[in-house]
Structures are given as structure tokens and as C-alpha cells.
């Protein structure tokens, strides 16, 4: 099978595969590819990522928000992250996804309470990297739910972005939508 047609699903932690440059295997290539798409086909209003894609989407949101000079693209207006998590080795991505440096991009996080691939506490840790995360919890696992309630949460989030009414909640870092 040619390299072009080989399936590719993950960039790997240095713990599992040897790393030449201190980054996850495939991470830099992924960033370069997405950078070219953003620069050639953008601008894009937002980003949606699932699982490791949500991890990558959060990292990309951070790169755009910090106005990385390598990107000729404005920050996203929104991020939708499903079963997302922070990078396991933050040094491997030069990420600042920390509680101290919160991202201002409005974010919607879907969290499955019975997810066994990415534990709910791990997904909640990613929400802490955002200034005002909106969290939708569902009673399922590692997937984006398609129930009426989850669709309503999605539409409600987009409506708040469109109206510019998403604002920080002074009592909690997380606004809870009607969950399942």
C-alpha cells in the first residue's frame, strides 16, 4: 500500500515510539498540514474535534489565539470538543493549556459519563484550559450523542456565539447545559 493510502489515526507519545525532535510522532506534520489548509482555504469560524482530534483542535485553538506568527489565520470564534483531553506530555507540543493561561475562545465540550477510552475527569481537565467552557454531559461513552437534548445543546451554543451572549460565569468555570 502506498504511503498516501495508508490509514493514519494517531500521533504517538514519545513513551510509545521513539521521537527525534521531542514532539509526538506526526504532530509537527499535522500542524504543518492544517496550517496550509487554514492559510489556503480559510478563514474558518470554528473547529470541531473528536477524541485526539479534540486534543489537536484545542492545541490549534491555542496557536491561533496566541497569534503564532507561523499562522496567517485569525483566532477561531468557537471550538467544539468531543471526548477531548489535554496532551499527555505538554512539553511535547509546547502547549500552554494550563489553568493559569486560559483560552478565551468559546468552547463546547461533550463528555460521556461512561467513556472508558477517555475518562470524564480527563475530559474535564481540558475544560479547565478554557476561560468559559460550556459542558454537555451525557450518559454514554466515547461518541458524540445525537439525541434531541444534545442537538439542542449544540444549537443553543451556536446561538449564543452568534448573538455574542456567551459570558463568563462568576460562580463556576463551567456552565452546564441541560444534560442527559
Please provide residue 89's backbone torsions phi and psi, each rounded to the nearest 5 degrees: -115, 95
Beta bridge partners of 81: 49, 109
DSSP the chain: --GGGS-----B-TTTS--SSSS-BTHHHHHHHHHHHHHHH---SEEEEETHHHHHHHHHHHHHHTT-TT--SPPPSEEEEES----SSGGGTT---SSSS-B-S-EEEEEETT-SSS-HHHHHHHHTTBSSEEEEEESS-SS---SHHHHHHHHHHHHHHHHT-----SS-S-EEP---
Name the catalytic one among 30, 73, 109, 115: 115
Cβ distance 44 to 74 under 8 Å? no
Catalytic pick among 51, 83, 95, 107 = 51
Given the residues 13, 113, 142, 179, select the one marked as catalytic: 142
Answer yes or no: 115 catalytic.
Answer: yes
Catalytic positions, written as ranges: 51, 115, 142
Amino acid at each position: 500500500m502506498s504511503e498516501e493510502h495508508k490509514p493514519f489515526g494517531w500521533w504517538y507519545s514519545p513513551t510509545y515510539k521513539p521521537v527525534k525532535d521531542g514532539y509526538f510522532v506526526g504532530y509537527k506534520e499535522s500542524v504543518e498540514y492544517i496550517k496550509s489548509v487554514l492559510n489556503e482555504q480559510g478563514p474558518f469560524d470554528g473547529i470541531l474535534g473528536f477524541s485526539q482530534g479534540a486534543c489537536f483542535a484545542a492545541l490549534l485553538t491555542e496557536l491561533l489565539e496566541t497569534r503564532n506568527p507561523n499562522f496567517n489565520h485569525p483566532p477561531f470564534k468557537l471550538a467544539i470538543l468531543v471526548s477531548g483531553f489535554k496532551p499527555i506530555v505538554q512539553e511535547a507540543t509546547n502547549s500552554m493549556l494550563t489553568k493559569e493561561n486560559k483560552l478565551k475562545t468559546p468552547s463546547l465540550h461533550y463528555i460521556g459519563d461512561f467513556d472508558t477510552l477517555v475518562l470524564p475527569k480527563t475530559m474535564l481537565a481540558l475544560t479547565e484550559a478554557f476561560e468559559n467552557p460550556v459542558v454537555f454531559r451525557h450518559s454514554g461513552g466515547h461518541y458524540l450523542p445525537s439525541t434531541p437534548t444534545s442537538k439542542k445543546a449544540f444549537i443553543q451554543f451556536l446561538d449564543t456565539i452568534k448573538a455574542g451572549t456567551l459570558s463568563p460565569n462568576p460562580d463556576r468555570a463551567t456552565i452546564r447545559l441541560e444534560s442527559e
